[in-house]
Amino acid sequence: MKIKLLIAVFFLTKIVVAQSYKEVKGGLLPERACFDVGYYDLHLTINPDEKTIKGHNVITFKVVKATKKIQIDLFKNLDIDSVVFENKKLSYERKFDAFFIDFPFELELNKNYSVAVYYGGKPRTNIGVRSTDGFHWKTHNKLPLVGVACQIVGASVWYPCKEYLGDEPDSVRLHWTVPVQLQCISNGKLEKVESSPIAGYKTSHWVVRNPINSYNVTIYLGDYQKVSGVYINASGRHSMEYYFLKKNDKSTKEAEKEKFYVQMGLTFVAFCEKMFGEYAFWNDKLAVVETVYDGMEHQSCVAVGSLRENPMGYAYAEDVNLHGTLIHELAHEWWGNAVSSSDMGDMWLHEGFATYTEYLFIEQMYGKKTYEAEISKMYENALSGLGGNVYKAQTDKILAPRNVYSNQVFGMQGQIYWAGAHFLHALRKEINNDTVFFDILRTFYERYKKKTVLTENFLQIVNEKTNKDWTQYFKNGLE
């Protein structure tokens, strides 16, 4: 009896701790719900030799409920030096991958405040359900090649922030102090580059003038070659930038591939603007960066693992000559970056929509018959677990639990990517009117760009445009 009692107490303790972690990580506790983030001013020194980061983030926020305490998120392996408010250090309590700041007085409703968090350490690498999140420390041309991706585990893996998808900063400034021999690429526009007091280092200053997911903030360091393509639309002449990893012995074939994929990106952007609406971040930029990891939709500077090869993990890669990662990550500029889910449980709005956009592009380039064949093959592969990196769907659920920032959502690849795309394909067939269906997609984008949404927002537009209640259809197809 005593042993059984101890076991019962142990498991009860484990359950309580796990639940508490989920509440802190993904939920809206009072200390997180009491403020809206307005602005991040992130300063960071990155040392590739030591694989360390050190700096501070000034977080400006508006109080929406009077409080004396707020929650900020930062992985527990990173050290906090101090938290400064109005030139005074504040006390704080660390709990899991977050910390709770105590203010000396009650913060007033509707008033803006700023708090600076000084921190540093060795950020984690190769974590998350795919073991691809965190910092990547590699070399290229005998120089450091550095990148960071964190969609699955969250931006607090490398900088202090409010880890809640429903609250994006309206703008950010980024100040990266890095070795002088490395090219530095980041979100938004480069304002200036200055020499640093640290010998052999420089500081690049960037500004993002649009709302941005916290996990979309990023930096690329390496030996890059920049290629620009010209894009012209109704609003003017724009530059689309490509950053290829520099090759000293580039072959003619590789150079031709670079040109081909540059043109493919321009063609795809024109397609998305025609189908959904104008790219939302021209006032920042549009860039594609070759990286050490597979790909990531970093806003205004999407990451692609290789810009010279067509990745064969895509179900259609053997049949149509499209760069799957390139067009998928660019599609996220519409679905995920401009229109952003406010909860990890609704990530199919990012991944399902972006994946379906790939297949709409196939239809545009190769015709309806090819589209039908490829999307059927994609779904069959997802269900069976075939097709290289096309992961098997573990359940038929596309929506995941809310208020849980869980990286297990991305273990549901078959659901949020391919089943999500197939749901949109099936919805299109059920509506049986392409004019109405594509008006739904365009309205969803135009109404909610630079905003955060839930599935209910999309359902509302479907109901509105078809004059029919699709609630049960969505429930059957997504839940």
Q: What global pTM score does this model have? A: 0.92
124 and 207 together in one domain: yes
Residue-level pLDDT at 386: 44
Rounded Cα gap, residues 139 and 143, in angstroms: 5
277 and 293 together in one domain: yes
Domain end, chosen from 173, 196, 222, is at 222
Q: Is residue 3 part of a domain?
A: no
340 and 368 together in one domain: yes
CATH of the domain at 419: 1.10.390.10
Q: Is residue 10 part of a domain?
A: no
Structure tokens at 201: 């280092």
Residue 412 confidence class, pLDDT cut points 50, 70, 90 = low
362 and 473 together in one domain: yes
The two most distant CA atoms of the chain are separated, in Å, by 77
152 and 76 together in one domain: yes
232 and 191 together in one domain: no
| Residue 330, helix vs strand vs coil | helix
Q: Is residue 162 part of a domain?
A: yes
Domain end, chosen from 222, 256, 287, is at 222
284 and 418 together in one domain: yes
Rounded Cα gap, residues 86 and 107, in angstroms: 13
Domain end, chosen from 164, 187, 222, is at 222
Q: What's the mean pLDDT when you consider all of the chain?
A: 89
Residue 389 confidence class, pLDDT cut points 50, 70, 90 = very low
Angle at 43 between CA 148 and CA 196, to 5 degrees: 105
78 and 170 together in one domain: yes
pLDDT tens column, 126-169: 877 666 889 999 999 999 999 999 998 899 999 999 999 999 99
Number of other residues whose CB lies within 10 A of the CB of residue 425: 20
50 Cβ partners below 8 Å, 6+ apart? Answer: 122
Most confident of 9-18, 80-89, 304-313: 80-89
Q: Is residue 218 part of a domain?
A: yes
Please count the structural domains in the chain: 2
Helix 368-384 crosses helix 420-431 at what angle (to 10 degrees)? 140
83 Cβ partners below 8 Å, 6+ apart? Answer: 89, 90, 92, 99, 101, 115, 116, 117, 118
CATH of the domain at 113: 2.60.40.1730
Buried b or exposed e, range 271-293, using 16+ CB within 10 angstroms: bbbebbbbbbbbebbbbbbbbbb
What domain range includes position 294? 226-478
Residue-level pLDDT at 127: 77
pLDDT tens column, 233-271: 999 999 999 999 999 888 888 888 889 999 999 999 999
Q: Is residue 211 part of a domain?
A: yes
298 and 153 together in one domain: no
Residue-level pLDDT at 378: 83
Q: Is residue 19 part of a domain?
A: no
235 and 139 together in one domain: no
Q: Is residue 429 part of a domain?
A: yes
Phi, psi of 345, deg, nearest 5: -65, -20
198 and 345 together in one domain: no
pLDDT tens column, 288-324: 999 988 899 999 999 998 877 766 567 676 778 889 9
Residue-level pLDDT at 18: 38
Residue-level pLDDT at 387: 41
Would the pLDDT of 390 be above 60? no
Residues in the chain: 479
Would the pLDDT of 8 be above 70? no
214 and 235 together in one domain: no
Torsion of Cα atoms, 46 then 47 then 52 then 57, to 10°: -20
Q: Is residue 22 part of a domain?
A: no
Would the pLDDT of 66 be above 90? yes
Residue-level pLDDT at 4: 35
